[in-house]
A and B are shown apart, each in its own frame.
Chain A
């Protein structure tokens, strides 16, 4: 089945640890929302129309995708098992909304997992382009090329004044949402993040924590994205976001220097304790894993930790989630059992000689 290759616990290329400013900016995403002109939008269309939309879009991509040197796999959401759907969500390849949809939907994935096109999510089309590091222009370029290819073969819902017409009034216009995932441990530790977030919001951009709903983002990972889609061109939106992100990166660097200078031992202690937790625990909750991953990541950036590969940390952030853990354990797991499996996974991936990884079963 086409989906198998995407379910494997190997890192997608956007999780690789390269690209500009990758020590702070972990990944970049650009999403374009589009609808076809001759069909009702997903909130109003019938199942029959949903199937036609899916067919129309996927036939174009499967036929012409190679014009852009991409090979796409078409995966119908209905045909997937629950766990497989969740794994694709955990890998950020599809949205939770798509798997809960009442209509037929699908996803077209490029072999390298950098492009993912959701069909019949909230809009007929959601083109998503993912890149490792801080690469807004590159991510947009790829999404835009695919968009232009599709547009040659499909008739988009477009309005001279309102631009690309979308289901939600917050996406109308460019239909573009661009975002950068940032690891900001020093700004969080020094409580500067609370001052930065409102300032960003005032400029028409939004900051969100990635996993948590609380005031502190889980693992100190934040996502900054544009909120406006009208009144500015794609170019201007990307410029604004790029400038803002660069400033935040500079602030984070300064805060890191300040902390390393003012309390080096406290910081070092915290980083090595976290490394100890990740490599030796027997039970590891999501929160603890995220916090410790953040510390170890910082330790690598500050050259305190030399022998841990950053790309393994990126993988672990994805694979420590419930669906992946259940695939790894090859059975359904209760929350407590997940903590055990998570700890085992971390020990296996981080202890090179496998000292701690022998002779244990997942109870």
Chain B
């Protein structure tokens, strides 16, 4: 769906407006929505006022996405409900991510240009194997960039790093741990 205002970007926000006594629904992209003063989006803390956007994406009347779960989903650890999450736009704890997980992909996609998976840094304590796998992926990407930029020395250095990491990974698996 294309944005009603700029006719350029894809629409990601449904804005309900009172116009001459009538409720009008407009489909806006995140940028036009942010510029739209009638929905009072404030810029202080975040690039976009999250709760405003969330409640526009999931208006109460339009509980189309898994309506039952939406009502009952409660985080067992902090007590946040999914409705509360939508209202304030923030999670209460790490467990909220599991408790609300059926809806989260949709939300992350909208905030992160369709992306839902983390591909960056991993804490060392989190698991060496996963860390090494992701590091190799990352080094390969950097290697592609170096080759495209004709930085062959850098690419060779990265390739050696991948080799060392791959060996480490195999070693780890052989240890049977």
Chain A residues in the interface with B (C-beta under 8 A): 35, 37, 39-41, 43-44, 96-97, 122, 144, 147-148, 151-152, 155-170, 172-174, 176, 198, 201-202, 204, 206, 208, 213, 227-237, 239
Instruction: Using known A-B contacts A43-B88, A148-B124, A168-B90, determine if residue A231 contacts B115 with beta carbons closer than 8 Å.
Output: yes
Q: How far is the CB of A170 from chain B (nearest CB, A)?
A: 5
CA of A239 to CA of B124 in the docked complex: distance in angstroms? 24
User: Is the Cβ of B124 less than 8 Å from the Cβ of A152?
Assistant: yes
Q: How far is the CB of B82 from chain A (nearest CB, A)?
A: 12
Q: How far is the CB of A195 from chain B (nearest CB, A)?
A: 13
Closest to A204 in B: B113
Instruction: Using known A-B contacts A162-B97, A168-B50, determine if residue A230 contacts B125 with beta carbons closer than 8 Å.
Output: no
CA of A235 to CA of B143 in the docked complex: distance in angstroms? 12
CA of A158 to CA of B118 in the docked complex: distance in angstroms? 10
User: Is the Cβ of A44 less than 8 Å from the Cβ of B46?
Assistant: no
Closest to B139 in A: A235
CA of A42 to CA of B46 in the docked complex: distance in angstroms? 16
Closest to B35 in A: A215
**Contact pattern, B 84-110, Cβ under 8 Å of A = 1, otherwise 0:** 000011111110010000001001100
User: Is the Cβ of B120 less than 8 Å from the Cβ of A233?
Assistant: yes
B163 within 8 A of A: no
Q: How far is the CB of B39 from chain A (nearest CB, A)?
A: 16
Closest 9 A/B residue pairs (Cβ): A231-B115, A163-B118, A44-B92, A157-B94, A230-B112, A44-B78, A174-B120, A233-B120, A40-B93
Contact for A228 among B115, B124, B126, CB less than 8 A: B115
Q: How far is the CB of B56 from chain A (nearest CB, A)?
A: 14
B40 contact set on A, CB distance < 8 A: none
Instruction: Using known A-B contacts A165-B97, A228-B113, determine if residue A233 contacts B9 with beta carbons closer than 8 Å.
Output: no
Q: How far is the CB of B53 from chain A (nearest CB, A)?
A: 9
B141 within 8 A of A: yes
Instruction: Using known A-B contacts A122-B90, A228-B112, A235-B142, determine if residue A160 contacts B130 with beta carbons closer than 8 Å.
Output: yes
A234 contact set on B, CB distance < 8 A: 120-121
A201 contact set on B, CB distance < 8 A: 31
User: Is the Cβ of A44 less than 8 Å from the Cβ of B93?
Assistant: yes
A227 contact set on B, CB distance < 8 A: 47, 111-112
CA of A236 to CA of B114 in the docked complex: distance in angstroms? 16
Interface centre among A157, A173, A204, A208 (most CB of B within 10 A): A173
Contact for B120 among A122, A163, A168, A169, CB less than 8 A: A163
Q: How far is the CB of B137 from chain A (nearest CB, A)?
A: 9
Q: How far is the CB of A171 from chain B (nearest CB, A)?
A: 9
CA of A260 to CA of B40 in the docked complex: distance in angstroms? 40
User: Is the Cβ of A232 less than 8 Å from the Cβ of B124?
Assistant: no
Q: How far is the CB of B139 from chain A (nearest CB, A)?
A: 10
B153 within 8 A of A: no
Instruction: Using known A-B contacts A158-B126, A208-B43, A235-B138, determine if residue A229 contacts B92 with beta carbons closer than 8 Å.
Output: no
B117 within 8 A of A: yes
CA of A208 to CA of B107 in the docked complex: distance in angstroms? 23
User: Is the Cβ of A169 less than 8 Å from the Cβ of B89?
Assistant: yes
A172 contact set on B, CB distance < 8 A: 97, 108, 118
Q: How far is the CB of A50 from chain B (nearest CB, A)?
A: 13
Closest to B30 in A: A201
Interface centre among B89, B121, B124, B126 (most CB of A within 10 A): B121
A176 contact set on B, CB distance < 8 A: 120
B79 within 8 A of A: yes
User: Is the Cβ of B120 less than 8 Å from the Cβ of A232?
Assistant: yes
Interface centre among B9, B108, B116, B130 (most CB of A within 10 A): B108
Q: How far is the CB of B58 from chain A (nearest CB, A)?
A: 12
Closest to B113 in A: A204
Q: How far is the CB of A145 from chain B (nearest CB, A)?
A: 12
Instruction: Using known A-B contacts A162-B97, A172-B108, A230-B116, determine if residue A41 contacts B122 with beta carbons closer than 8 Å.
Output: no
CA of A156 to CA of B121 in the docked complex: distance in angstroms? 12
Contact for B111 among A144, A164, A169, CB less than 8 A: A169
B19 within 8 A of A: no
User: Is the Cβ of B123 less than 8 Å from the Cβ of A174?
Assistant: no
B132 within 8 A of A: no
CA of A158 to CA of B91 in the docked complex: distance in angstroms? 14
User: Is the Cβ of B123 less than 8 Å from the Cβ of A158?
Assistant: yes
Instruction: Using known A-B contacts A170-B48, A198-B31, A230-B108, determine if residue A43 contacts B97 with beta carbons closer than 8 Å.
Output: no
User: Is the Cβ of B117 less than 8 Å from the Cβ of A231?
Assistant: yes
B141 contact set on A, CB distance < 8 A: 233, 235-236
30 contacts between A and B (CB under 8 A): A40-B93, A41-B92, A41-B93, A43-B90, A44-B79, A122-B45, A122-B90, A156-B125, A157-B93, A159-B94, A160-B130, A161-B116, A162-B97, A162-B118, A168-B46, A168-B89, A168-B91, A169-B50, A169-B107, A170-B48, A172-B118, A174-B120, A176-B120, A227-B111, A230-B116, A231-B118, A231-B119, A233-B121, A233-B141, A235-B138
CA of A174 to CA of B119 in the docked complex: distance in angstroms? 8
